[in-house]
Structure 1
Amino acid sequence: MRSIRAAATGAVTLSLALAASACGGGSPTGGGSDDSPRTLTYWASNQGASVEADKKVLQPELDKFEKQTGIEVKLEVVPWSDLLNRILTATTSGQGPDVLNIGNTWSASLQATGALLPWDEKNFDKIGGRDRFVDSALASTGARGEDPAAVPLYSMAYALYYNKRMFADAGIAEPPATWDELVAAGKKLSKDGRWGLGAEGSNPSENVHHAFVFAQQHGADFFTADGRPDFTDDGVVAAVEQYVDLMAEDEVIAPGNAEYAQNQSVSDFAKGRTAMLLWQSASANLKSQGMSEDAYGVAPVPVQSGTPGPGRQANSMVAGINLAVFKNTDNLDGATEFVKFMTSDAEQKILNKAYSTIPPVESAQADPAFDTPANAVLKDTLAKSAVALPQVADESQFETAVGTAIKELFADAAAGRPVTAESVKARLGKAQQQMPAK
């Protein structure tokens, strides 16, 4: 899922337990509020610097689709802060769009509501086949063993963005490849009112994404093999403590970052207030804030030791946006045709270039635009060292509970209160108690 476009993946205030009672989405009359087979409604997530910026990207493509098919697409760009609750409300009320964007980490949770069209082989064949999509993207489309609840649209991965001038001034020749190297570099860079690394301690989604990667590197997960929460596993506790210690112990993150929310760390990096940023496909966002591509480098997210790879050397979640269809839409043929259009090679190139993301359609990745230094890092990460977040029905609650626990730990660090293995375990234990009973 997307951070720069505000990966607020865990902003859940409406219970999925309620949503699970719903059996469909869309509208009883089809096409959202319009029963015309020549009309579709589309909720797009906010991917660019603003809602208006997204409309400028998307509307020409939707007009192109209408010209080709005669089907008008009524677009609404929905901010991340509202999107999940809007979707959950639609699943309970039966009043929703025909087609919508979902953060890929939500796939299994929304799949459990029964509201989304399953993408079985027959449906995949209508859009050119399942094998067009890269494996890492398909891994974040729903629970294992079930037909996907959505189709990959944009793929993203985390990377380390670093300010070239600040590195040179500090005498740092290469970007850090391990966390020890990152801490050492961060201490050299944290001076004169500037800091080594930015973070968004008040952003639950960002907290979960980083903690998940740390946990993978510690050989741990937040769930057992049968899907039960295991937030107090020793490896998970060590991972969260290591992440929060970047502020509490290592002092390479400013205490004020404990209060940072969506995109504030990106802004600090673009303005030269911090020297490093851990972010998903940040180039478009940095450009929108006036930072030249020549001013920063892009490297893989550090690992505990060695180089990024499978297993304990995983260094990113599989981030991205999926395209879903409410299964009780009365315009299923039109919705399917729209998904086919949006995932065509031509549109994949146009849209992923606009958002500095990677096409999940493998053949579209051959375009030279996706071989820039930044994109090469992202592509390599997705292919070799990214891991999908847990595809469990309670994933959304997991992001909210654990992300909020880490937010509280960052608040402790900023206030000078000790952050210890015991305090981390206590917060995570409280988060686990908030999960639905099995």
Structure 2
Amino acid sequence: MRRSTATATAAAVTVAALLATATGCGGGSADGAGSNSAPGELTYWASNQGADIAADQAALGPELKKFEERTGIKVKLEVIPWSDLLNRILAATASGQGPDVLNIGNTWTASLQATGALLPWNAENFEAVGGRDRFVASAIGSAGAAGQDPAAVPLYSMAYALYYNKKMFQEAGIEKPPATWVELVETGRRISGDGKWALGAEGANLANNIHQVFVLSRQHGGSFFDAAGKPTFDTPANVAAVKQYVDLMAEARIVAPGNAEYDKNQSLQDFAGGRTAMVLWQSAASSFKAHGMKEGDWGTAPVPVPAGAAPGTGTGVNSMVAGINMAVFKNTDNLDGALKFVGFMTSDEEQKILNGTYGSIPPVKAAQSDPAFADQDLTVLRDTLATSAAPLPQVPEESQFETTVGTAVKELFADAAAGRPVTAESVRAKLAKAQQQMAN
């Protein structure tokens, strides 16, 4: 890629703010990777979707070779761990030196869009990959700020579900998974004990904290940002949502106190090891298998909703629209090749292959309807994405939101684990502090 010579001051400020709040500083420099790709070459930064980087290289390698054979364009692949990815991207947007094509978490899209470094997906660019209408509407809704051309194209779609251990449910005499939060607590109290816990959580995982309380906020009729994009963190609805989540440990006592320190998929290991009976996670089947579980060991159900509600819009929202988007740096030296590559990766054929490998849902309509995505796990996820998932706020400050509110929830879990009271007032104070940090 060429170094950008027209970076707006506002974009530079946005990058600086994001760099200040980003976590996992393992790779904060592009160091020339992907810069000035040779003619007939593209550099691609892929996110770590498989059990490890080697698994991703094995999965993507044959597909990139297939693209090279069809187009003559060689793709230089780098798989980047999630702990490093955001900082690597931010450094690239600040310096103008980075890959031609990259994967981004869809919740970051509006923040990265605000830097001005990503290619806008206008009608012409969408036409180069088969048209905007090929993609599921909810996935496009998480590809950039409202009222602007999307800054990325959906690649893998995911949704949250309630996963439960069938054997542990049978041993406790529980016939079906809980459909409401009241039922979840009741079920959890029947299971917890003798060294086993009902529900796994990750109190130190800031992004997961945000995903959980976002859903609960919607179920309480709340929002963390108003229509103008201003933070509204400490509203009564948000206080109730955060308290409800932390109270699964503090009051209901169905989450182990040690989960307050969990991060980086530790709750999935507990679930696979039979130490917890349930976990709320996004598209987790491939992770369970990587930890030794077999098909049929777990069941999949929609995330609970309030009593009297049904999964759907409004208070029936039970997942954020999770997923991975594919973006192009707009100062790439090989725009035509980059568009061809995005078109290849989002083709019906490749969508079936890649999403089948990773246990995710194709955001491309034609691929999503394939019978390969009709098992119980994927049917629950597909139905959730179609009917009851909502995108996280598509605002430039989304990354700061994840850090500040995610940290507030982390601190409240620490209070619960230590036996300190978690009250509506203590929750409100943490959220007010987070909102103040956003203003600084």
CA contact (8 A) 1:45 1:78 kept: yes
Q: Is the 8 A contact 1:160 1:298 kept in 2?
A: yes
**Corresponding residue SS for 1:37:** coil
Q: 1:424 aligns with which of 413, 427, 432?
A: 427
Structure 2 CA distance for aligned equivalents of residues 288 and 398 of structure 1: 31
1:368 Cα deviation (Å)? 1.0
**Deviation for aligned residue 1:204:** 0.2
2:175 paired with 1:173: yes
Name the residue aligned to 1:18. Answer: 16
Q: What does residue 306 of structure 2 align with?
A: 304
Work out the CA distance in 2 between the residues paired with 1:20 and 1:403: 15
State how far apart, in whole Å, the 1-side matches of 2:80 and 2:106 are. 16
Is 1:132 the counterpart of 2:134 in the alignment? yes
1:210 maps to what in 2?
212
| Structure-1 residue corresponding to 2:26 | none
In 1, Cα distance between equivalents of 2:105 and 2:237:
27
CA contact (8 A) 1:19 1:88 kept: no
Aligned position for 2:56: 54
Q: Deviations over 1:89-112 (max 9, x none)?
A: 001111100000000001100000
* CA–CA separation in structure 2 for the residues paired with 1:155 and 1:148: 16
Partners of 2:253 and 2:304 in 1: how far apart? Answer: 18
Match of 2:235 among 233, 236, 244: 233
- Number of residue-to-residue matches in the alignment: 418
Q: Which residue of 1 aligns with 2:39?
A: 37
Tell whether the 8 Å contact from 1:31 to 1:39 is kept in structure 2 after alignment. no
Whole-angstrom CA distance in 1 between matches of 2:140 and 2:128: 17
Q: Which amino acid aligns with 2:328?
A: V
Residue type at the aligned position of 1:382: L
Sort the Cα spacing of 1:60 and 1:243 in 2 relative to 1 into closer, same or farther, 3 A: same
Q: 1:84 to 1:20 in 2, by over 3 A?
A: closer
Structure 2 residue 121 is the aligned partner of structure 1 residue 119: yes
1:186 aligns with 2:184: no
1:370 paired residue number: 373
- Mapped to 2, the partners of 1:387 and 1:167 lie a distance apart of 30
1:20 to partner: Cα distance: 9.0
Q: Distance in 1 between matches of 2:15 and 2:374?
A: 43
Residue of structure 2 in register with 1:289 after alignment: 291
Q: CA deviation at 1:307?
A: 2.1
Q: Is the 8 A contact 1:155 1:358 kept in 2?
A: yes
Aligned residue number for residue 107 of structure 2: 105
The 1:114/1:311 distance shift into structure 2, 3 A limit, reads same
Q: For structure 1, list consecutive stretches of 5 or more residues without a partner in the other structure.
A: 1-13, 22-29
SS at structure 2 position matched to 1:76: strand
Secondary structure, counterpart of 1:277 in structure 2 = strand
| Contact kept in structure 2, 1:31 and 1:37, CA below 8 Å | no
Amino acid at match of 1:304: P
d(CA) in 1 for partners of 2:396, 2:102: 19
> Any idea what SS the aligned residue of 2:379 has?
helix
CA contact (8 A) 2:18 2:400 kept: no
Partner AA of 1:230 in structure 2: T
**Aligned counterparts of 2:104 and 2:439: Cα–Cα separation in 1:** 22
1:366 deviates by 1.9
1: CA distance between counterparts of 2:407 and 2:87? Answer: 17
Counterpart in the other structure of 2:156: 154
> In the aligned structure 1, how far is the partner of 2:434 from the partner of 2:87?
20
Equivalent residue for 1:63, pick from 65, 71, 74: 65
Aligned residue type for 1:333: D
Per-residue CA deviation, residues 190-216 of structure 1 (Å, 9 max, x unaligned), is: 011010000000000000000000000
Whether the 8 Å CA contact 1:161–1:278 is kept in 2: the answer is yes
* 1:48/1:15 CA distance change after superposition, 3 Å: farther
For residue 313 of structure 1, report the CA deviation from its aligned partner: 0.7
What letter is aligned with 1:40? L
Q: Which amino acid aligns with 1:352?
A: N
Q: 1:31 deviation in Å?
A: 9.0
Aligned alpha-carbon RMSD (Å): 1.7
Task: Write the distance in 2 (CA, Å) between the matches of 1:61 and 1:436.
Answer: 45
Q: Which runs of 5+ in 2 are unaligned?
A: 1-11, 20-31
Could you say which residue in structure 2 is the equivalent of 1:87? 89
The letter of the residue matching 1:225 is A
**Hey, what's the Cα distance between the residues in 1 that align with 2:81 and 2:40?**
26
Residue 3 of structure 1 aligns with which residue? none
Aligned CA distance change for structure 1 residues 205 and 20 (closer, same or farther; 3 Å): closer
CA gap of 1:31–1:131, structure 2 versus 1, over 3 A, is farther
Shift of 1:367: 1.4
Counterpart pick for 1:256 among 242, 258, 261: 258
